[in-house]
Chain A
């Protein structure tokens, strides 16, 4: 049972525009959420996280939004750059060490 879902397998965005990646989760006990970026044949790289006590966290061009009532989080990248092209995974965790990952969204930023 997939507790973290990324319903869009791919996304294409023009350079300079905003990229919005979405993620839904089903377990209301999750209280820590993360986004990772992954290039082919490499491990995921941590990008940004948010705890459930917040609804927004910003780090440079990356902003994560959390809507707990909708069990939805999103990652905004502004402005998008060609180097942002990668697969993005969202993840959720509860008080334990267990992290649950989505299936990923492949972002292509077109120059």
Chain B
């Protein structure tokens, strides 16, 4: 099956620093990857859609200058949380579809637990 790998699984950083999270599709190419954020006991919130070779599309209310997304290849997308603050502490998950078009599921990475102190 389609495998999405996310790294790191857990990171603790100090307030004001930046953190980069990597998302890789291991056995398929993904022209589009999706970044989600999950708050405790809440649903998965789509933050942005990452498009290979072009700019990401951000959802309303998500600061693009704070959450920098780069999709440099068909198998790698990165999310950089810049100038992190404690309120950025959350569980971030990336996902991708292993084939384009209709009726294909999203496959998720294992997520990254970010804690900003």
| Cα(A9)–Cα(B43), bound, Å | 11
Give 17 pairs: A residue, B residue, CB < 8 Å, sorted on A: A2-B43, A34-B105, A41-B91, A41-B110, A41-B111, A42-B111, A43-B109, A43-B110, A44-B93, A44-B108, A46-B108, A49-B105, A89-B44, A97-B49, A98-B46, A103-B42, A103-B43
| Cα(A14)–Cα(B55), bound, Å | 49
| Cα(A102)–Cα(B79), bound, Å | 24
| Most A CB within 10 A of own CB, among B34, B43, B91, B97 | B43
Which residues from A are CB-within-8-Å of B6? Answer: 43
Given contacts A42-B110, A43-B93, A44-B108, contact A89 B32 (CB under 8 A): no
| Cα(A9)–Cα(B42), bound, Å | 10
Which residues from A are CB-within-8-Å of B93? Answer: 43-44
| Chain B interfacial positions (CB closer than 8 Å to A) | 4, 6, 9, 32, 34, 41-44, 46, 49, 91, 93, 95, 97, 102-103, 105-111, 113
* CB-nearest residue of chain B to A49: B105
* Interface residue A45 (Cβ < 8 Å from any Cβ of B): yes
* CB-nearest residue of chain B to A53: B103
* CB-nearest residue of chain A to B113: A41
Query: What is the predominant secondary structure among interface residues of chain B facing chain A?
Result: strand
Query: A45 near B108 (CB under 8 angstroms)?
Result: yes
Given contacts A43-B93, A101-B44, A103-B42, contact A95 B111 (CB under 8 A): no
* CB-nearest residue of chain A to B107: A46
Which residues from B are CB-within-8-Å of A102? Answer: 43
Query: B43 near A97 (CB under 8 angstroms)?
Result: no
Query: A46 near B113 (CB under 8 angstroms)?
Result: no
**Pick the contact of A32 from B42, B46, B95, B103 — CB < 8 Å?**
B103
